[in-house]
């Protein structure tokens, strides 16, 4: 597969400016993942696929939806990138509330802790409409272990 995107290119010459477009070509290859493949996120987190389970063996949410991937939580504090937590939490709230969000980079320049306030307010609203989060802590989600089928993972 091939994807071509055009990006604006600014050319400066002898005090004048001209704008043109520069084609950027991406070579894409669709493959099935396998144990040992490396995956990386947008926030600098990365890891190796250690186990691939059938969908019915994955942990699942209260409404029965299985999770797609489970990352090691120790990758967050070691890189100090809480942005991935905010992004995934806002994605969950958006999915439950059927909303889409566009967040500007460096949104903290507009208001102190703007990202955190938005994420927590949306999670709080989602927790009122859908019983998927812990009522006392809106930033916590309850997962169930498919192996035991009874106990929740917190």
Tokens of 142: 């309850």
Q: How many beta carbons lie within 10 A of that of residue 86, not counting itself?
A: 18
Residue 96 vs residue 52, higher pLDDT: 52
DSSP secondary structure string for all residues of 32-86: ---TT-EEE-TTS-EEE------GGGS-B-TTSPBPS----TTHHHHHT-THHHH
Q: Where are the domains of the chain?
A: 2-153
CATH 2.40.270.10 is held by the domain 2-153: yes
Please give the helix or strand (H or E) that residue 98 lies within, else none: none
Task: Return the bridge partners of 24, or none.
Answer: 5
How would residue 52 be classed by pLDDT, with cut points 50, 70 and 90? very high
Beta-bridge partners for 20 = 9
pLDDT reading at 48 higher than 60: yes
pLDDT attached to residue 14: 53
**Calpha distance 97→129 (Å, rounded):** 8
How many percent of the chain have pLDDT more than 90? 6
- Lowest-pLDDT range, 18-22, 97-101, 104-108? 18-22
pLDDT of residue 46: 80
Three-class secondary structure of residue 147 per DSSP: coil
């Amino acid at each position: 597969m091939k994807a071509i995107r055009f990006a604006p290119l600014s050319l400066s010459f002898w005090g004048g400016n001209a704008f043109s477009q520069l084609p950027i070509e991406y070579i894409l290859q669709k493959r099935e993942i396998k144990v040992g493949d490396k995956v990386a996120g947008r926030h600098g987190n990365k890891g190796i696929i250690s186990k691939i389970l059938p969908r019915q063996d994955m942990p699942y949410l209260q409404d029965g939806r299985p999770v797609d991937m489970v990352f090691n939580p120790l990758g967050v504090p070691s890189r100090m990138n809480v942005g991935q937590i905010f992004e995934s939490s806002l994605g969950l709230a958006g999915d439950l509330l059927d909303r889409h969000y566009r967040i500007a980079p460096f949104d903290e320049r507009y208001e102190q802790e703007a990202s955190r306030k938005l994420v927590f307010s949306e999670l709080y609203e989602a927790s009122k409409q859908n019983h998927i989060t812990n009522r006392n802590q809106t930033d916590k989600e309850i997962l169930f272990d498919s192996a035991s089928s009874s106990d929740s993972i917190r």
